[in-house]
Amino acid sequence: MYAIAVHGGAGKWRSESESATLDGVRYAAEAGQGILKQGGSALDAVVAVVAALEDNPLFNAGTGSALNVDGDAEMDAGVMVGQGLLTGNVACLQRVKNPILVARKVMEEAGHVLLAGDGALRFARGWGFEDFDPVTPRRFEDYQKKRRELLEDAGSGLPYLRRLLLCQADEQAKGTVGCVARDVHGGLAAATSTGGVTLKLAGRIGDSPVPGAGNYATKHAAASATGQGELMMRFLTTKSICDLVAAGYSAQKSVDEILARMAAEVGTDAGMIAVDTHGNIGIAHMTQDMPHAYANASQSSIVTAMRVSSH
């Protein structure tokens, strides 16, 4: 019995890109499903899925990542396996093609949990990850547009981050990609990757590489979150989901409950996916959209959707 769920980022997506977006999450999910069907590990599956999404410039991870205030792509990624609570993470990583692959290498080879900035880049180069420019023309145009809007609003008296969020309101640049899986051997894993928020301050680290915030896995469940990263870090969203599963909640009830608690305490800019040890899947969001895909023993063909109907 296997199960897999994928998300392409919570937020507001342009309607004209909906078909291509769903094709993207479906293609990535198929890559992971193929590994699981052949008896491969949940770890291999989630990393393959996230790497595929990082390679698709429609998504805000890897190629096509959002640019910070200096016009640089500083990327975050994290991976975790439930058995032994092993995790590897990178933050503020520049000029690599697939941050999730570097995060996995940190988990398996570094003896550390999180590497950031220049240290993460030096580690990546040491393991043979070649120089790669993830900045696409579309993201650079988006960066220039939002920078102009921010500068025009500079006299409003609003704090920088408040003005920044107002500039983000009509775009999907906050999207994060993620995957959770249960393999046929009962192993659970989660992987999450992001370019962060357009015009974020240099050095800003989101929730994706913070275990328990944007990404987490235990022997009971695996979860990945998307949305405004600061909310996930304040709430420890994915660990909270896994804790509810351990307490007897289903995967779906767990994500619904945590989303409701977050809405009451910190905010609604969040979405999440989870899978439990029985192969049950949970998907929830309070943003307008969250492109996602999933498959399991009871639904072997991959299902895709832009949003969960109940939200």
Q: What is the pLDDT along the chain (311 residues), one digit of tens a residue?
A: 999 999 999 988 887 789 999 999 999 999 999 999 999 999 999 999 999 999 999 999 999 999 998 999 999 999 999 999 999 999 999 999 999 999 999 999 999 999 999 999 999 999 999 999 999 999 999 888 888 877 776 555 556 555 655 555 444 455 799 999 999 999 999 999 999 998 888 999 999 999 999 999 999 999 999 999 999 999 999 999 999 999 999 999 999 999 999 999 999 999 999 999 999 999 999 999 999 999 997 888 999 999 996 54
d(C-alpha 65, C-alpha 278), whole Å: 34
3-state secondary structure of 220: coil
DSSP secondary structure string for all residues of 34-77: HHHHTT--HHHHHHHHHHHHHT-TTSSSSTT----TTS---EEE
- What does the alpha-carbon distance between residue 96 and residue 34 come to, in Å, rounded to a whole number? 26
Task: Catalytic residue, from 21, 63, 87, 176: name it.
Answer: 176
User: For position 161, what pLDDT does the model report?
Assistant: 59
- SS3 string, 134-167, reads CCCHHHHHHHHHHHHHHHHCHHHCCCHHHHHHHH
In the chain the domains, ranked by start, together with CATH numbers, are 3-305 (3.60.20.30)
Check if the beta carbon of residue 43 is closer than 8 Å to that of residue 79. yes
- d(Cα 46, Cα 48) in Å, to the nearest integer? 5
Q: What residues contact residue 111 under an 8 Å CB cut-off, 6+ apart?
A: none
Cα distances (Å, whole numbers) of residue 86 to 40, 127, 190, 227, 294: 18, 20, 11, 24, 24
In Å, how far are 36, 104, 147, 251, 295 from 222, measured between CA atoms?
15, 16, 37, 9, 15
How many other C-beta atoms are found inside a 10 Å radius of the C-beta of residue 132?
Answer: 12
Strand (E) or helix (H) holding 305: strand 299-305
Which pLDDT value is given to residue 165?
54
pLDDT given for residue 170 in this prediction: 45
**In this structure, which long-range contacts are made by residues 29-37, counting pairs with CB atoms below 8 Å and at least 24 apart in sequence?**
29/4, 29/179, 29/293, 29/294, 29/295, 29/302, 29/304, 30/302, 32/4, 32/6, 32/179, 32/181, 33/2, 33/4, 33/295, 33/302, 36/2, 36/4, 36/181, 36/183, 36/184, 37/2
Look up residue 137 and give its two tokens.
């023309």
Active-site residue, 176 included: yes
Q: What is the pLDDT of residue 310?
A: 53
Whole-number Cα distances in Å, 93 to 90, 103, 124, 207: 6, 10, 9, 14
Q: What phi-psi label fits residue 95: left (phi over 0), alpha (psi between -120 and 50 degrees) or beta?
A: left
